[in-house]
Amino acid sequence: MSKATAASKALAAAFVVLTGSVIAGIITMVIFYKTEISPMNPTPRPTTPPTTTSLPPVFRLPRDLIPQSYEIFLQPDFYTKIIEVVNVTSPNQTMLFTGNSTVSFHCVQGTRAIYLHSDGLAISEPVVVNKNNSKKVAVSSTKNHEYPSNFLEIQLDEALEQGVTYSLFLAFEGHIRQSPYAMFASKYAEGAPAYEGDQDGERFLVATILEPTYARKVFPCFDEPDLKAVFHVTIVHRSETQALGNAEVKESNGIDDDWKVTYFHPTPKMSTYLFAFVVSEFTSTEPSAPSDRVGIETYARPNATRAGHAQYATDVAAKILQFYESHFEINYQQQKLTQIALPDLRAEAMENWGLVTYKEGRLLYEEGASSPLHKEDIASIIAHELAHQWFGNLVTMKWWNDIWLNEGFATYFSIFAVDQVEPSFQLKEWHIMSNLHRAFEDDALASSHPLSPPLEDVQWPAEIEGMFDSITYFKGAAVLRMLADIVSEGTFTKGIKMYLSDFKYGSADQDDLWGHIQKAVDQDGGRTDVAKVMNTWTKQIGYPVITINTTNGEIYQKHFLFNDTYESNLWWELPIRVMSNAPKSSPIWLRSNNKVQKDEFISKKGEWILANVNCTGYFRVNYNSENWERLLTQLETDPDKIPLMNRGQLVDDAFNLARAELVDVTLALNSTRFLRDERDFLPWKLAAKNLEYFVLMFDRSEVNGPMQAYLRQQVKGLYDFFRNYTDSSTVPENHSLQHTQILAIEVACSNGLPECVEMATGMFANWMASNGTNHIPPILRSVIYCQALAAGGREEWDFAWDKFQSSTDTAERDQLGQALACTKKIWLLNRYLEYTLDPEKIRRMDVGPTISSIARNVAGQALAWNFIRAHWTYVQWDSVMLVDAVTRRFSTPFELTELERFGEDYHLGAATMAVVQAVEQTRVNIQWVSENKDGVLQWFESETAS
């Protein structure tokens, strides 16, 4: 599955901050922890799972029966349009599906019971047949266990025999869901009215998303990732629709006027969670073939396809697929690759083998309406999902505790793929850093989890869901990058190829990966003990900060935690690359938590020393104050002597060390002085991101005035640098410069640089005066809309709302939806919050992102906090995202008490962990503010005094 790309997420974050207003929103927002405990299924997870080891099994299926293939018939009974409207509020939609399946399995150990998974399906009498002699085996009883096991237990009159293949037939019936998971229906507006009174041209489709444990809600199956099988699928569907599946269509015939049947070719041998189908009236781009072997098509709403919005996705997918095929030296294993843009999905995208599903906003590109920068998001998410066709689909983790083997690799390789196929983006370094910092952020809390936790910590569906977090995605990618650096890129790639080729169509765990990289290391004459080094990074939580004293050459490591009252003796096997004026090439290893002394670290003739060159290591670095001063002086005088990534990292380390109280907060602030003359995106971006914490902690206090004055002063040069472009509503060619220009406007306007506010309101007024015909260039829209609405009032808001409602164009709607949360007027924000309760105004899928955007606005945060408590059941689906958004400014004992009371009084479900983390973070914030407020105020005042 996919999270939003690092860039968009972090961009959103920084916007927010510097403004105290909001840009994070519908496209850039992400369902971060996709966990959902459905209100329909509120069974709490037992705090101590039962511990019996004899039958019945506790949480894993027994391994006595191994599935080989499924033959599946499914018939979703829904209408693509509602023809007979009983009345307006209760359309006559059936929302049922029926089906049957025959699973063939091999008996490797005699047993009288069959266990598989089934959840929420009405199952008919099962039939078990011995495939050797075609004789039936009588069933004595069946029992469907409840959540969390969801086992379907079938007791037999006689034992199944070892070595024999059996089949199990089951007919079943289930519900098509309205929320986008398992098998669900989605609604979209399209086309001409279908009947009298059909004003929106409302249409329905049915799709699936089954990762991690929802296949059992669609058909009874052995729903564990290593129990792979071949799927022979047949879909019966309405005649006006088309069915898409993992594999190619073999044949599609009409049954009668209403129904059609589509038979698919067998899938490759694959895990149940990768099963998918879609039944819709969507149409596709012309297939584009990277070779004769694979046809790539992208499906979307007919209008979107007709307008060419799916073309970029097809073109870039073809290039990316080709890149992976040559990089891994293993071909994509199917003859077709279908991508589809769905109106609704509970993840940003899902990598189903051969049928990759995306949220519409993440896949479609509208020439003239989408920001050109949106291409980066599209390319990144496609690159992520296509990497899964190898990492996840071809080779799958044995169990969900190693899900990072899917997500870490997909995240890691997507950056390289995009850089290869779209070289003009020039953002590889930024994407790497941005991912690294997302992992750093969450992994600095004592409540973090190991990248690869023990099996017993990841048993039940809720625990499995919890694994889809930033640690899995971004720490996963970061430790892979570190490993590639340690063993060398060439050796790493060699090991990866062996890993993919040896485990294809099978499953692997983390030790298998280490084993194969080790093989490559040994072949290439390396000496690294891969498992020994890497297990220190994947099997324990957190990461270290190393401290280098350049006076005496002493160096040591320590677990880096924001909350330093937490005692930790963890240590890591870590390689340190350092440079001074001349780079030193081979790394120096630190292998304990003892202090060691190295002459290399003594600075000669007062030179600075810089460690973790190009940030390949997953750790932070602290220095003695003399070395810090020399580094910051270098930045202010001749920054190019320090590699770009490290210019950003120094700022990031300084701020985070200050946050953990390892250095003084003034050191962090001093590290932003050089920005006055900095024109590169990465350092500016990281400074903006880090100042976010200051803004969140202080934008409701008297620090805000001097802080804004300082930021105006720093950003003026950058703003002026782009002024010729901005004032003439244009942008430079290079994507990296475009990002910088937008950031400059964002920082300048949100801190009240008068020429910027004037420019934004002017551009918006011009657009209003022309009644929307005089368009703002797409790339500047987000920032101009938001800034103009922040500076404006009701007139601007209503105009934007009007455009939001009437726009048929997704990109424009998303930009406006986010900008509407930027206003400073409380009553407008309140009204916008109320609108989220009305699906006619704000689509259900946009509720969480909309409220989050409002919460990120300093003027809207308290409103949003009250709102989610008042409507907790309604916003459950997005509870994790919302808890995160509303608690970010919490820094007073009163807020802590409120949050704790909330934790006690509400049924938290999936948000339980988010609340625990928010409580911990609030405590940290309270202490930090009380210790630093005076110093920070003084610093900003003195910097802006002259």
Ligand X SMILES: *[C@@H]1O[C@H](CO)[C@@H](O)[C@H](O)[C@H]1NC(C)=O
Residues within the annotated binding site for Zn(2+)? Answer: 384, 388, 407
- Minimum CB separation from ligand X for residue 942, in Å? 25
Cα–Cα distance measured from residue 152 to residue 216, given in angstroms and rounded to the nearest whole number = 10
236 binds, among ligand X, Zn ion, none (CB under 5 to 8 A by kind): ligand X
Give 90 or 569: the residue with its C-beta nearer to ligand X: 90
Quick one: which H or E segment has residue 438? helix 428-443
- Minimum CB separation from ligand X for residue 361, in Å? 15
Q: Residues at the annotated binding site?
A: 384, 388, 407
DSSP lists the bridge partners of residue 356 as 339
Which has the closest alpha carbon to 260: 243, 238, 281, 245? 238
1 binds, among Zn ion, ligand X, none (CB under 5 to 8 A by kind): Zn ion
Give 56 or 91: the residue with its C-beta nearer to ligand X: 91
Cα–Cα distance measured from residue 87 to residue 85, given in angstroms and rounded to the nearest whole number = 5
- What SS3 class is residue 254? strand
Contact 863, 827 (CB under 8 A): no
Structure tokens at 21: 């207003």
Cα–Cα distance measured from residue 352 to residue 207, given in angstroms and rounded to the nearest whole number = 12
Cα–Cα distance measured from residue 865 to residue 899, given in angstroms and rounded to the nearest whole number = 10
Q: Beta 182-189 vs 202-209: how paired, if at all?
A: antiparallel
Q: CA 921, 925, 926: angle at the middle one, nearest 5?
A: 120
List of residues contacting Zn ion (CB under 5 A): 1-2, 407, 410
Cα–Cα distance measured from residue 233 to residue 407, given in angstroms and rounded to the nearest whole number = 27
191 binds, among ligand X, Zn ion, none (CB under 5 to 8 A by kind): ligand X
Contact 576, 609 (CB under 8 A): no
List of residues contacting ligand X (CB under 6 A): 73, 75, 83-84, 87, 89-90, 92, 100, 171, 189-192, 236, 303, 549, 551-552, 624, 808
13 binds, among Zn ion, ligand X, none (CB under 5 to 8 A by kind): none
- Minimum CB separation from ligand X for residue 167, in Å? 11
84 binds, among ligand X, Zn ion, none (CB under 5 to 8 A by kind): ligand X
Q: Beta 151-160 vs 165-175: how paired, if at all?
A: unpaired
Give 351 or 652: the residue with its C-beta nearer to Zn ion: 351
Which has the closest alpha carbon to 3: 341, 463, 342, 351? 351
Residues annotated as catalytic are 385
DSSP lists the bridge partners of residue 182 as 209
Cα–Cα distance measured from residue 593 to residue 601, given in angstroms and rounded to the nearest whole number = 17
- Minimum CB separation from Zn ion for residue 87, in Å? 42
* Measured torsion, CA atoms of residues 719, 724, 726, 727, in degrees rounded to the nearest 10: 110
Give 92 or 637: the residue with its C-beta nearer to ligand X: 92
410 binds, among ligand X, Zn ion, none (CB under 5 to 8 A by kind): Zn ion
Give 36 or 407: the residue with its C-beta nearer to Zn ion: 407
624 binds, among ligand X, Zn ion, none (CB under 5 to 8 A by kind): ligand X
Residue written as tokens 């602290």? 622
Burial readout 203-232 (b: 16 or more C-beta within 10 A, e: otherwise): bbbbbbbbbbbbbbbbbbbbbbbbbbbbbb
Give 84 or 256: the residue with its C-beta nearer to ligand X: 84
73 binds, among ligand X, Zn ion, none (CB under 5 to 8 A by kind): ligand X
- Minimum CB separation from ligand X for residue 120, in Å? 19
- Minimum CB separation from ligand X for residue 551, in Å? 4
- Name the residue type at position 769: A
Cα–Cα distance measured from residue 603 to residue 608, given in angstroms and rounded to the nearest whole number = 6
Give 195 or 827: the residue with its C-beta nearer to ligand X: 195
Q: How far is CA 460 from CA 15, 145, 271, 944, in A?
A: 37, 14, 18, 55
Give 401 or 782: the residue with its C-beta nearer to Zn ion: 401
Structure tokens at 660: 């953990």
Cα–Cα distance measured from residue 165 to residue 172, given in angstroms and rounded to the nearest whole number = 23
Quick one: which H or E segment has residue 363? helix 360-363
